[in-house]
Structure 1
C-alpha cells in the first residue's frame, strides 16, 4: 500500500478526475433507470384507472336502481330515514373526535 507521502499531486488529480467520471456515469445510469421506473409506474396507474372506469361504467345502472329504491324507501318511511341519518352522522362525529 502506498503512503500519502509517495503519491504525487498529479496522481491525486488523475484519481479525482477518474472518480468524477465514474460518479457522472453512475448518475446517468440512475437517471435512465429512474425514467424507466417512472414510465412503468405511470403506465400501471393508467391501466388501473382504465379498469376502474370500466367497472364503474358497468355498475352504474345497478347503482342507479339501488339509489332509486333507497329514495323510495326514505320517502315511504321518513322517520326511519331520519334516524338512520342521525346515527350515521353520530358515528362519523365519534370517529373524527376519537382521532384527536
Structure 2
C-alpha cells in the first residue's frame, strides 16, 4: 500500500511544486528585467553614437547635396535619365522578389 500516494501526499507535493514554480517565476522575472535594462542601455548607447556621427557628417552631406542639385540644374536631361534608371532598378527589384 506504500506504493500508492494518498490524497494528502498529493496535496503536499502539489503545494511544494507550486512554491517551486512561484520561485522560478520570480527569478525569471528578475532576470528578464535585468536583460531588458541591459538591452535598453545598449540601444541608447548605439543611438547616441549614431546621432554624434550623423551630426559630424551632416555638413558634408549638405555640401554634396547642393553640388548634386547644381549639377541637376545644369544638366536636366541627364538628371531625368538617371532618375528613370533608378526608378527602373527599384521596380525590377520589387518585381523580382515576388
User: What CA deviation, in whole Å up to 9, does each residue of 1:27-79 have, x standing for no partner?
Assistant: 00000000000011011001100000010000000000000000111111111
Alignment size in residue pairs: 97
Stretch moving more, 18-27 or 8-17: 8-17
Q: Which 4+ stretches in 1 moved above 3 angstroms?
A: none
Q: How does 1:1-100 map to 2 (within 5 A)?
A: 3=3, 5=4, 7-100=5-98
TM-score (ref. length: structure 2): 0.95
Once the 2 structures are TM-superposed, how far is the Cα of residue 99 of structure 1 from its aligned partner? 1.2
Once the 2 structures are TM-superposed, how far is the Cα of residue 26 of structure 1 from its aligned partner? 0.1
TM-score (ref. length: structure 1): 0.93
Query: What stretches of structure 2 of length at least 5 have no aligned partner?
Result: none
Tell me how far apart the structure 2 counterparts of residues 60 and 16 of structure 1 sit (CA, whole Å). Answer: 64
Query: What stretches of structure 1 of length at least 5 have no aligned partner?
Result: none
